[in-house]
Chains A and B, each alone.
Chain A
């Protein structure tokens, strides 16, 4: 199975900060990765498709990138509404696997 190692597990940042969350894939997944945002009591919402493509309606302060086996979600300027859990998912190979999640809090 492909392991997705997500870091950090939690973080606290100030409004306006640049925030980066990373998932490292244990095997090649190409760009077959989705980033989800999940707010308390809500279902996951896709933010980034195919590692770098912004989903419809997602603010442009969100971006996705790849460096080798490391996939990153970046928020260029943190806003209060970005407080949420973030998850990555690889869909290159069965079984599909999620990262362990990142809890993003606002200082």
Chain B
């Protein structure tokens, strides 16, 4: 059974940092390209970032809204993908999901609230 569990969310002040973790199981993680997607309180979905596999040199891609502030990474030995979020803004408030390349499996999401 495929499982994805996102952790690391919470309430943080603007300008601060947070690191999300997505722990996975049930599929061959090392071959899988992974995405982070977020959903605003207004229910709008936004693609955030992608990381490819080792065979693709772990290439990364970002939405313009997070480029330079967020960093996606992975640890194949732990079947986990991460999202380091720096210089957080109120507009980063959302539920953050991880999902693999085929979009077939999603975690339950983790809430990030940026507010003073």
Give CA–CA (A34, B106) in the complex, Å. 15
Is B47 interfacial (CB-CB < 8 Å)? yes
Looking at the complex, which of B8-16, B38-46, B72-80, B81-89 is the stretch in contact with chain A?
A: B38-46
Which residues 81-105 of A sit at the B interface, judged by CB distance below 8 A? 85, 87, 89, 94-98, 100-101
Q: Mark B34-56, 1 if CB is under 8 A from A, else 0.
A: 01010000011111001000000
Q: How far is the CA of A105 from the CA of B93 in the complex (A)?
A: 27
Q: How large is the interface on B (under 10, 10 to 19, 20 to 34, 35 or more residues)?
A: 20 to 34
User: Is A43 within 8 A of B44, CB to CB?
Assistant: no
- Given A43-B108, A94-B61, A95-B63, CB of A34 within 8 Å of CB of B103: yes
- Cα A55 to Cα B102 in complex, Å, equals 11
Which chain B positions have C-beta within 8 A of A55? Answer: 104
- Which of B45, B62, B102 has a CB less than 8 Å from the CB of A87? B45
Contact of B44 among A34, A56, A98 (CB under 8 A): A98
Q: 15 A-B residue contacts at CB 8 Å?
A: A1-B64, A36-B45, A36-B103, A43-B97, A44-B45, A44-B103, A46-B103, A55-B104, A85-B43, A95-B61, A96-B47, A97-B47, A98-B45, A100-B44, A101-B43
- Listed in ascending order, the chain B residues whose CB lies under 8 Å from chain A are 35, 37, 43-47, 50, 61-64, 97, 102-104, 106-109
